[in-house]
Amino acid sequence: MIFDGHSDLLWDVTRRAEAGEDGALQKWVRVLRRGGGEGVVLALWAHLTTAGAFWGKVPGMGHPRRRTERMLQVLERELSYTRDLRLVTSAAQAGEARRAGAVYAFLSVEGMEAISTEVTGVDWYARQGVRMGMLTWNEDNLLASGAGGDRSRGLTAAGRRVIRRMEEVGMIVDVSHLNDRGFWDVMGMAGRPVMASHSNCRALCDVPRNLTDDQLRAIRDSGGVVGLNAYHGFLHADPTRRTVEMLALHAAHMAEVMGVEHVSCGFDFCGFFGPGEKGGQGISDASQMENLMLCLESLGMSRREREAIARENLLRVLA
């Protein structure tokens, strides 16, 4: 059974809800189950991009805090339609949901522009049940710079205060979207495990959203995990090698550099965003997650190693 450590499906559910469709979350739960999924991390991604243009049609959504609140409202309503998904905040609660036959879901935040520079915003996220958080998406904000932002800029003083508060309240720092300077700023001050929920290996695909071997080792040394990302652009420079088999090679490289106990899943499926936003061949959406496990088996990974990558490593960090 597989635990997907990063999904933007709550974005799609919100978009559909704003268009008058209810029950979209239940549809995605069925897709997740077809792929062998037992759990998922739902990202609160409220950044305004071309993909997020629907927000412009919703009155009162000019501020990211309001958009985040609306996503939470939609989630609460969608959860009332299904018993097949249960919101949880710990590995113990995830186990209870699994035994009850439900898919468990953790919350993360993908870019903290909604809280400005106020450390109290971390407490607000924590009250909503958020267990992991990224300071940025790809942009520059008041806390840090993302992978698509100013490469010379790291954490701001406010960003450092937010990191300290996240650790105090038990929220895991997620570095997947930080630029390199921000990454090393986090690692220089982190006192708890750090994760990269949805990043691959820069040694195999040289893009800013992937991690160098030194970064992989730093996450290992913190006790954290790195989630394998199925997005085609993070798999290989050659389009013909953007496949599930290539993702398995990223897993093997991570295991060699960090140890298998620090590898997890964070597939980042985003086909609902439109053309070009797709997973690699053979792992295009959640219904194909088990294909990765088959590829890992063909590479010689034991059942125990595959189970660790599939769910146990991430659940350990979320205990």
pLDDT of residue 32: 95
Give the C-alpha separation, 318 to 312, whole Å. Answer: 10
Query: Is the C-alpha dihedral spanning 189, 185, 108, 5 positive or negative?
Result: negative
Q: C-alpha 80: how far from its chain's center?
A: 24
pLDDT of residue 137: 94
pLDDT of residue 280: 96
205 in helix, strand or coil?
Answer: coil
Whether 318 and 90 have beta carbons less than 8 Å apart is answered as yes
Instruction: Name the nearest CA neighbour of 88 among 70, 71, 69, 108.
Output: 108
Give the C-alpha separation, 97 to 39, whole Å. Answer: 9
Q: C-alpha 238: how far from its chain's center?
A: 25
Whether 310 and 225 have beta carbons less than 8 Å apart is answered as no
Give the C-alpha separation, 139 to 257, whole Å. Answer: 29
Q: Amino acid identity of 108?
A: S
Instruction: Name the nearest CA neighbour of 133 among 319, 265, 318, 270.
Output: 318
> What secondary structure, in 3-state letters, does 73-109 show?
HHHHHHHCCCCCEEECCCHHHHHHHHHCCCEEEEEEE
Give the C-alpha separation, 55 to 270, whole Å. Answer: 17
Structural domain boundaries in the chain: 2-317
CB-based burial, 281-301: b 16+ in 10 Å, e otherwise: bbbbbbbbbbbbbebbeeeeb
Q: Which CATH class is domain 2-317?
A: alpha beta
Q: What is the pLDDT along the chain (319 residues), one digit of tens a residue?
A: 999 999 999 999 999 999 999 999 999 999 999 999 999 999 999 988 766 678 888 999 989 999 999 999 999 999 998 889 999 999 999 999 999 999 999 999 999 988 877 788 999 999 999 999 999 999 999 999 999 999 999 999 999 999 999 999 999 999 999 999 999 999 999 999 999 999 999 999 999 999 999 999 999 999 999 999 999 999 999 999 999 999 999 999 999 999 999 999 999 998 777 777 899 999 999 999 999 999 999 999 999 999 999 999 999 999 9
221's tokens: 């040394």
pLDDT of residue 162: 96
Give the C-alpha separation, 68 to 212, whole Å. Answer: 32
pLDDT of residue 270: 85
pLDDT of residue 53: 76
